Amino acid sequence: MIHTPPDSLTRQRLQQIQARDAAADGSFIYAVITTGVYCRPSCPSRHARAENLRFFDNTTEARAAGFRPCLRCKPDGEPNAERQARVTRLCRLIEQAEQAPTLQQLAEAAGLSRWHLQREFRRETGVTPKEYARAVRQKRLHQQLADAPTATNAAFAAGFGSTSHFYAEAPGELGMPAADYRQGGARQQIAFATGPCPLGRVLVARSAQGICSILLGDDDNLLEADLRARFPKAQCTPDTGLGNQLSAVVALIESPHQAQQLPLDVRGTAFQRRVWHALQAIPPGQTRSYAELAEAMGSPSAARAVAGACAANPLAIVVPCHRIVRSDGSLSGYRWGVERKRALLQREAQGPKDD
């Protein structure tokens, strides 16, 4: 039997469908009369018109009304809470293992196919099992390097299978060689330069691996203080030799549609790096909401985590977190000021400049 909820409940359900709110899964089912299918509130399918929706308390009622289950969200499958609990158990399994479990081992533990496990794990956590295991190993390495007698001891305790693998991977996971990390990063050299740009002042900092920070502001002293706070143990030194990199960043502000190839030293968790990579895939002149970016990453339930990763972005302009707006199109917050965000989006909306 089709239920006609009160207007307030209808509005609430429509909002939950619009937001693809996974927390609403299990509380109701909606069906689309033009397609003949019924879905969970979190279904990633294209939204239908409100007048074409019908609401049910459960899948049994939807089937009795002649609708069939959606092939994308599979509303007849397990409730969201069970899926989340299973992924949580797999996370604990990865965290407690001395060596990272293989995808096949995790699939057997969950009773799923490897493909299904990979998709489910990524949907719930925002990263693949391999990326999650690497993040766990990275955390262990940070802890072990502080106490272990040697870097080699720390490597094996963290879960590296060989010293060669460790020394090849450590700079990328730590942002510096292991020996420098054991010294608290005191030996790490970071060069920086500041200069004018259309948005005020800009600071560009570079490590041995590449550009590690791009900051915007109005005062060079405050920008330098921000940089030193980000790298408290490193030796941060002004360097006039960074003129080319500084010019490249300024050029990217002035002509956002012109591609710039800059060597980057991107430091963050596996999920943060995925978000930053997804941001770089947004073309100039276009915007996304947090929910849209999360869905594009294959993790529609991770909108809040996406917002956190955007806020932690250390590379203004190059990783364009200014292209994130609210779901209604209005401007959300921006680490370097909403007015700068508005100016950047206005420049991008003008399109490429003619030669």
Q: Which residues are identified as catalytic?
A: 39, 321
Strand 29-32 relative to strand 68-69, pairing: unpaired
Q: Which residue has the tokens 């060079």?
A: 220
Judge contact between 319 and 295, C-beta under 8 A.
Answer: no
**Torsion, Cα of 14, 18, 19, 24 (10° steps):** 40
Strand 53-56 relative to strand 37-39, pairing: unpaired
* Secondary structure (3-state) at 217: strand
Q: Give CA–CA dist 256/335, Å, rounded.
A: 19
- Which amino acid, one-letter code, is at 33? I
| Contacts of residue 270, Cβ cutoff 8 Å, sequence gap at least 6 | 127, 131, 132, 134, 135
Q: Give CA–CA dist 247/193, Å, rounded.
A: 11
- Eight-class DSSP state of 48: P
Q: Which residue has the tokens 């970016």?
A: 293
- Which amino acid, one-letter code, is at 11? R
Judge contact between 32 and 9, C-beta under 8 A.
Answer: no
Tokens in use for 177? 């060689």
Query: What are the residues facing 56 on neighbouring strands?
Result: 29
Q: Give CA–CA dist 154/132, Å, rounded.
A: 19
CA neighbor of 97 nearest in space, from 159, 189, 163:
159
Judge contact between 309 and 293, C-beta under 8 A.
Answer: no
Report which secondary-structure segment, H or E, holds 130.
helix 129-147
Q: Give CA–CA dist 30/57, Å, rounded.
A: 9
